[in-house]
Structure 1
Amino acid sequence: MDRASSNLVELRDLKVAFDGVQVLHGIDLNVGRGEAVGLVGESGCGKSVTWLAALGLLPGKASVSGSVQLDGQELAGGPREVFERVRGGRIAMIFQDPSSSLNPVLRIGRQIVEALSLHRGLRGDAAKREALRLLDMVGIPDARRRFDLYPHEFSGGQCQRLMIAMALAGEPDLLIADEPTTALDATIQAQILDLLIQLRAETGMATVFISHDLGAVSQVCERVCVMYAGRIVEEGSVAQLFSEPRHPYTRGLFDAIPRIDGPRQRLIPIPGTVPNPKHLPEGCSFSPRCFRAVEACRSERPSLETSADGRQLACFRPVPANEPVETRTRMTEDMLQ
């Protein structure tokens, strides 16, 4: 099967603007059937906006253009009814703060049954049996008794499990997990990650995992897209990016992670912050923060090109393989002087 025919979702030249300010600059992204894709980058890089735009969930003031195809069917620009059938049905999304996504005045059982009714047409006892099965599947203990509890009677980790159960109610082909472990402690984070991996193996659904946590991405995903200032700057397999990140931004994300294995070494922070979309620099958006930037980087914008090993990269001066950390430290210090 060729790559094109195996794609479940295809985003092409997806652009988003708010009040005339461009925040996404032409995103091209595929998600294959059953594939797990990670989307990483600092806050404000456009990770969540990409998928909110793809699902038609942005506010009315947002201007969205480009193509969003699900199994070859164009969604962008389509009627509201098409999105309502897709959202929660074929594509489900869970958010980082489950307490704000669950209705605080409705019992949790009713909320799951409502999803089953909308997306699968189940009613009465059949809907309740399926809701209890979903609660068992996501690891909620004593599901029958807790079916009639309210969201505030569950812990943060359990609320996230409830959101996953609601997302699974429509038997989605794609689950988008937007920072699903951010507000949880380390032990509960590990449990949620294990649950996502298990559910994907059991159901065969594709997963998009949006996160700042590169360690979590390495556990859950097969392929990673790195975003910066509304663009994808590097894309490749987990093995490629974690063993040899080539874009200076990707390399910077790894260099800023504390490590407990190997010899002690100095962390290399990325200078500055993500630029305001209203005032993007000319050329490469990362050039003001980049330890490898030269004049061409400040005047021209690199395009996303596919290399011989299959990864995609938008950079005029990629990080050489096996570059010593001392070299990057020195280059960063020279840039800051």
Structure 2
Amino acid sequence: MGNLVEIRNLSVSFDGVPVLHSVDLQVAQGEALGLVGESGCGKSVTWLAALGLLPSKATITGSVTLGQTELVNAPRPALENVRGGRIAMIFQDPSSALNPVIQVGRQMTEALKLHRGLRGNAARTEALRLMDLVGIPDAKGRFNLYPHEFSGGQCQRIMIAMALAGEPDLLIADEPTTALDATIQAQILDLLARLREEMRMGLVFISHDLGAVAQVCERVSVMYAGRIVEQGPVAQLFDRPRHPYTRGLFDAIPRLDGPRTLLAPIPGTVPDPYNLPMGCAFSPRCSHAQDFCHKERPELLRQRDGRALACAYPLPEAGAHKTTMEKVTS
């Protein structure tokens, strides 16, 4: 199966300061890709750049192709045909994404008019169908309510319904469950998984929640300081993480089984893009770093088992043999 979207050598700088460095990502039709890492690692910037949604001070280089269409530096009309239509994005705070002074039904019919040309009763009927699809109870009776009359989870469902209005090939979910309680999070995750299967959409799931990524995604890419540091199939990478940063993310998760133990947070913080350390950006926080790590930046290398890794001294894998690697090229 060919890739729906291919990102090659994507770099972004703001006023000359690099924040994203030669990122490569691919999403196939119907596939779910997880993108994880701490805040400030470049997860959202990657896809905002791909859709041309960054401010004018951003300089974007590289390539983002949707089928045969190049999106980087594409003219505005071409991007407007893609955004919300072929690629839709939902954000982590529906209360700020929905207009508080416009009825929800009207906001949905405006999306249907823009992306599918539906008007009047046809738009209303389709909006009600989408509200039913995402699990809004009594959609007809709540069609003319305002966003503040819905719960947080219901507002997120409305945002998902609006994203589906254009029948997208790819849905980008940027921290869609962050502000929701655990029960509603589970419902939203189940909804995304079901919709992806029913509509054969590609899905990019951006999250801090590794458990949610494991539930929804087949592949995962780990980002740190604007670079991909490890990527591979979810089951393989979650079971045997080899980059010290990935291992640190797992060690910081509280466990509900076994004896109580202190969490092991990763020391320090994500470096400021204005003051990146020499060599590996993670080396100041890495207990496994050696002299080489503070001088040279490791390239993203692909292993024979399918995963890719950017680490000069990866963690050992139980029972693994030394593998031949090849550079992940654009």
Residue 24 (structure 2) pairs with residue 24 (structure 1): no
Unmatched segments (≥5 aa) in structure 1: 324-337
Query: What is the deviation of 1:221?
Result: 0.3
CA distance in 2, matches of 1:106, 1:261: 46
Q: Which residue of 2 aligns with 1:332?
A: none
1:250 counterpart SS class: helix
Query: What is the deviation of 1:263?
Result: 4.2
Q: Which residue of 2 aligns with 1:245?
A: 241
Query: What is the deviation of 1:70?
Result: 0.1
Q: Which residue of 1 aligns with 2:29?
A: 33
Residue 75 (structure 2) pairs with residue 91 (structure 1): no
Residue number among 187, 190, 205 corresponding to 1:191 in the alignment: 187
1:91-138: CA deviation from partner (whole Å, max 9, x where unpaired) = 000000001000111111111111111111111111111000000000
Q: Which residue of 2 aligns with 1:201?
A: 197
Aligned AA for 1:145?
A: G
Query: What is the deviation of 1:264?
Result: 4.0
Q: Which residue of 2 aligns with 1:303?
A: 299
2:136 counterpart SS class: coil
Q: Which residue of 2 aligns with 1:219?
A: 215
More helix by share: 1
TM-score for the superposition, normalised by structure 2: 0.95
CA distance in 1, matches of 2:273, 2:40: 9
Query: What is the deviation of 1:75?
Result: 1.2
TM-score for the superposition, normalised by structure 1: 0.93
Residue number among 125, 139, 151 corresponding to 1:143 in the alignment: 139
Aligned AA for 2:53?
A: L
Q: Which residue of 1 aligns with 2:327?
A: none
1:117 counterpart SS class: helix
Residue 125 (structure 2) pairs with residue 106 (structure 1): no
CA distance in 2, matches of 1:160, 1:266: 34
Aligned AA for 1:195?
A: L
2:34 counterpart SS class: strand
Q: Which residue of 1 aligns with 2:44?
A: 48
Query: What is the deviation of 1:266?
Result: 4.0
Unmatched segments (≥5 aa) in structure 2: 320-330
1:164 counterpart SS class: helix
Q: Which residue of 1 aligns with 2:56?
A: 60
Query: What is the deviation of 1:322?
Result: 4.4
Aligned AA for 1:71?
A: G
Query: What is the deviation of 1:267?
Result: 2.6
Residue 137 (structure 2) pairs with residue 128 (structure 1): no
CA distance in 2, matches of 1:78, 1:59: 15
Aligned-residue Cα RMSD (Å) equals 1.0
Residue 276 (structure 2) pairs with residue 280 (structure 1): yes
1:259-313: CA deviation from partner (whole Å, max 9, x where unpaired) = 1123444432111000000000010000000111000111001000100101000
2:258 counterpart SS class: coil
Q: Which residue of 1 aligns with 2:114?
A: 118
Residue 67 (structure 2) pairs with residue 76 (structure 1): no
2:60 counterpart SS class: strand
Q: Which residue of 2 aligns with 1:210?
A: 206
Residue 229 (structure 2) pairs with residue 233 (structure 1): yes
Residue 166 (structure 2) pairs with residue 180 (structure 1): no
Aligned AA for 1:37?
A: L
Query: What is the deviation of 1:8?
Result: 0.3
Q: Which residue of 1 aligns with 2:152?
A: 156
Residue number among 290, 315, 337 corresponding to 2:311 in the alignment: 315
CA distance in 2, matches of 1:296, 1:72: 41
Q: Which residue of 2 aligns with 1:169?
A: 165
Aligned AA for 2:303?
A: S
Aligned AA for 1:150?
A: Y
CA distance in 2, matches of 1:173, 1:261: 39
Aligned pair count?
A: 319
Q: Which residue of 1 aligns with 2:326?
A: none
Query: What is the deviation of 1:201?
Result: 1.1
CA distance in 2, matches of 1:216, 1:114: 31
Q: Which residue of 2 aligns with 1:328?
A: none
